[in-house]
Amino acid sequence: MKQYVGLDVSLEQTAVCIVDEHGKALWRGKCASTPEAIAAVVKARAPHVERIGLESGPLSTWHWHELKKRGLPVICLDARHAKAALSLQVNKTDPNDALGLAQIVRAGWYREVTVKSLDSQVIRSFLSSRARLVEVRVDLINQIRGMLKPFGLVAGKGGRQPFIDRVRELVADGPLKDAVEALLSALQEVSRQIGILSRRLMGLARQDQAARRLMTAPGVGSLVALAYISVIDTPDRFSSSSSVGAYLGLTPRRYQSGEIDRSGRISKCGDPLLRSYLFEAAGIVLNRVSRWSALKAWGTRLAKKVGGKKATVAVARKLAVTC
C-alpha cells in the first residue's frame, strides 16, 4: 500500500497526516518540529511512504535537507500554490492543513520548489545582512538630515566620512550635539560592518569560478554574481535560459480571457534582492559604462523607443538570461 504524508510545520510542533493511495486518512497526530522527531513518526507510521509534502517556509530548507539525509522522499511545495488548494477547506487548522498537503502530494497536483543548497544559503545570509545594513545606513543619514533642517543646517551631499565631519562641525557646541552624535556613532559602526561584509563577499567571489565567469559580463560585479549564484543554485533545473527572466519576475504579467488580452507590469516574482541588483547593473551598463557592447547598444536603441526605465528592466532581464 502506497502512503502519502503531509507536514504542516510550525516552530514548536508539526501536524502530521498520513493517507493511503485512495485518500483515506490512516493516521493524524503531532510531533516536535525537529527532523529527528518527524523522521521517527514517518518511519513508524508510514513504512511504505511514497511522498512527503511540506510547504516552503523559514524551516523548510533545514527540514528538507535533514529528511533527505535520512532517505525520505520529501518534497517542498510552493506555499502560494498549496494555499490555493488549502483555502477550499471551511476550517483552517493545522491538522486540516496537514491533511490537505497529504492529499495534494497524493494527487500529484503540486508545484515543487527547488530547495537551495546550504552553501547558497550561507552566501545568501551574507548578502541579506549587507543589504539590511545598507538600508539602516540610508535611514540613519536621512534621519540626521531631517534633524538638522528645522534649524537651518544643511549637511550637503554624500554619506561617508566627509559627511560625518561636516555634520559634527554644524552641531558643535549646539543643542543637537548629543542627539546627532549618537546617530553619527551608529552610522560609523554600521558603515564599518558593511565594509567587513563587502570584503568578505569579494573574497568569496574571487574563490568561486562561476562568480569570476559571471563578472566578465557587462555591469556584473561581485555582489550581482554571488546573488545570482545563490538564487539560481542549480542551473540545470531550467529548461532554457529564457525562463530565468520569468523566474526572477522580470517579465510582464498577462491577463487573457475571451476578447480581453492585456499585458501589465513585470510580475516581480522571485527574489527581490537579485532583481534589484540586476536593475542596478543594467543601469550601470546603460548610463555609466563608456565601453560599447551589444547589450548596451540594444538597450540604448530600446530606450529611445520605450523610455529609460522600461529599457533598463529589459536589459536586466537580458542580462539575467545571458548569465
316 and 228 Cβ atoms separated by less than 8 Å = no
Nearest to 223 by CA among 154, 124, 136: 124
Nearest to 226 by CA among 208, 238, 241, 242: 208
C-alpha cell at 309: 526605465
CATH code of the region 3-107: 3.30.420.40
DSSP state at residue 150: G
For the CA atoms of 129, 132, 237, 42, the dihedral, rounded to the nearest 10 degrees, stands at 70
Distance CA 102, CA 97 (A): 9
Q: No. of H helices and E strands in the chain?
A: 13, 7
DSSP state at residue 315: H
pTM comes to: 0.88
Start-to-end C-alpha separation, the chain: 46
pLDDT tens sequence for the chain (323 residues): 899 999 999 999 999 999 999 999 999 999 999 999 999 999 999 999 999 999 999 999 999 999 999 999 999 999 988 988 888 888 899 999 999 999 999 998 888 998 999 999 999 999 999 999 999 999 999 999 999 999 999 988 887 888 999 999 999 988 999 999 999 999 999 999 999 999 999 999 999 999 999 999 999 999 999 999 999 999 999 999 999 999 999 999 988 888 898 988 999 988 999 999 999 999 999 999 888 999 999 999 999 999 999 999 999 999 999 99
